[in-house]
């Protein structure tokens, strides 16, 4: 078995003093911007806490080419690494000059929770999410995690209070909000969509959970199409519609594993509370990092054997793509909506009547790429 390249991995660094970019922050915002100043103050406190965690637990840094960016993940301690890195392994990079650096720490690396915001800093942060364009902060309540993003310094901070309590599915799609906060500034958008393709380009497969995105993507993977993702992808509308792979994972049900038994070899993490599991693909399957988008499909499971494509309006596909993407992402709004509409205006859009014959389903998708 060939393992994925590990070019991005570095040995654990000795516990050094925190780097300057962690402790020297830019000047505060305008004096009349109380909330922005408070957010900056909290950001500075949090950065200091991450620096302490790095000193206490040691640092390991990995590099990834994601979208149009090289991103460094700088782990304080080891606890978060098995949660964050497996789904990004296919994007490991040899480039060590990152556009974005994300610090990752948890309570075990710091030995305590993050400092509590003082009354001076809690003004904007008591109600999260918060953004002033420069500092963005989002607490994911269901995960008990903090995403703090400093756009001016191209620096992100991801905190998990308790790694052991993170839900099983988090390893499949890590750092979603951090990627969203970073890439939307580069006019790339984190979307709730699967993507598969070939040398001609990619089909983006949209729809809410349970609509058939994963099944369609896995059927295509089995039929030899390249895999870019089964649940989340990164897209851009201009200058041409384009999709990037984010995660080499797939969230599947027991039923899916029965339908695609040969994929069971990729099963790495079983769900704990539901009958869903995570697959992590490696070089044994065809994966692409990026392709031009040639069609957008909205699957509808019919129960019939045959599959077919029915031309649909871009507005219909916008209904399937935009709400399920935008409503998951704090801070997403009108500009993101417009970008998704632009993308859908520029490529053929279809309802995919997804039949029960997986080979025919994949052939139908392949047809729209010809």
Residue 2 within binding range of other proteins, rule CB under 8 A:
no
Rank residues 328 and 356 by Cβ distance to other proteins and give the closer one. 328
Q: Is 330 in the site for other proteins (CB under 8 A)?
A: yes
Cα(228)–Cα(204) distance, rounded to whole angstroms?
10
CA separation, residue 327 to residues 29, 191, 254, 324 (Å): 29, 10, 28, 6
219 belongs to the binding site for other proteins (CB under 8 A): no
CA–CA distance, 363 with 74 (Å, rounded to integer): 42
Site for other proteins in 299-318 (CB under 8 A): 313-316, 318
What is the x/- site pattern for other proteins, positions 139-168, by CB under 8 A? xxxx-xxx------------x-xx--x-x-
Give, as one character, the DSSP assignment of residue 342.
H
* Chosen residue from 5, 333, 359, 367 binding other proteins by CB under 8 A: 333
**Distance between CA atoms of residues 314 and 311, nearest Å:** 9
Q: Which is nearer to other proteins, 114 or 219 (CB)?
A: 114
Report DSSP state, residue 287: B
Taking CB under 8 A as the binding criterion, the range among 15-23, 50-58, 75-83, 328-336 that sits at the site for other proteins is 328-336
One character per residue 110-139, x = contact with other proteins (rule: CB under 8 A): --xxxxxx----x--xxxxx--------xx
- 311 by Cβ neighbours in 10 Å (0-12 / 13-18 / 19+) ranks as exposed
**H, E, C per residue of 47-107:** HHHHHHHHHHHCEEEEEEEECCEEEEEEEECCCCHHHHCHHHHHHECCCCCCCEEEEEEEH
Which structure tokens are listed for 189?
A: 């958008």
Q: Nearest approach, Cβ of 267 to other proteins (angstroms)?
A: 19
Q: Return the residues of window 45-104 that contact other proteins according to CB under 8 A.
A: none
- Whether 236 and 187 have beta carbons less than 8 Å apart is answered as yes
Q: Which residues bind other proteins (CB under 8 A)?
A: 112-117, 122, 125-129, 138-142, 144-146, 159, 161-162, 165, 167, 169, 208, 273-274, 313-316, 318-319, 322-324, 326-328, 330, 333-334, 337-338, 340-342, 344-348
């Amino acid at each position: 078995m060939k393992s994925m390249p590990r070019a991005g991995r570095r040995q654990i660094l000795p516990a050094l003093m925190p780097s300057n970019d962690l402790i020297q922050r830019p000047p505060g915002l305008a004096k009349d911007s109380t909330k922005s100043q408070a957010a900056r103050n909290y950001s500075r406190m949090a950065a200091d806490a991450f620096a302490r965690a790095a000193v206490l637990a040691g640092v390991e840094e990995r590099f990834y080419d994601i979208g149009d960016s090289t991103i460094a993940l700088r782990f304080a301690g080891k606890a978060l690494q098995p949660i964050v890195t497996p789904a990004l392994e296919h994007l490991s990079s040899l480039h060590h000059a990152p556009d974005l650096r994300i610090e990752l720490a948890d309570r075990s690396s710091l030995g305590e929770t993050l400092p509590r915001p003082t009354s001076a800093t809690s003004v904007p942060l008591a109600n999260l999410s918060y953004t002033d364009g420069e500092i963005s902060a989002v607490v994911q309540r269901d995960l008990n995690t903090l995403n703090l993003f400093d756009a001016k310094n191209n620096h992100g901070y991801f905190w998990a209070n308790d790694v052991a309590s993170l839900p099983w599915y988090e390893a499949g799609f890590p750092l979603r909000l951090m990627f969203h906060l970073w890439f939307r500034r580069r006019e790339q958008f984190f979307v709730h969509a699967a993507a598969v393709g070939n040398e001609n380009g990619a089909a983006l497969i949209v729809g809410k959970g349970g609509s058939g995105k994963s099944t369609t993507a896995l059927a295509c993977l089995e039929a030899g199409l390249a895999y870019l993702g089964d649940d989340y992808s990164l897209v851009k509308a201009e200058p041409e519609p384009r999709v990037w792979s984010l995660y080499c994972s797939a969230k599947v049900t027991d039923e899916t594993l029965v339908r695609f038994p040969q994929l069971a070899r990729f099963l790495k993490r079983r769900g704990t509370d539901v009958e869903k599991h995570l697959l992590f693909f490696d070089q044994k399957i065809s994966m692409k990092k990026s392709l031009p988008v040639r069609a957008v499909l909205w699957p509808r499971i019919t129960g019939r054997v045959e599959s077919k494509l029915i031309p649909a309006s871009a507005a219909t596909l916008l209904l399937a793509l935009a709400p399920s993407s935008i409503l998951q992402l704090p801070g997403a709004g009108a500009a993101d909506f417009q970008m998704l509409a632009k993308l859908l205006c520029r490529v053929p859009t279809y309802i995919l009547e997804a039949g029960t014959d997986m080979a025919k389903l994949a052939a139908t998708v392949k047809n729209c790429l010809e």
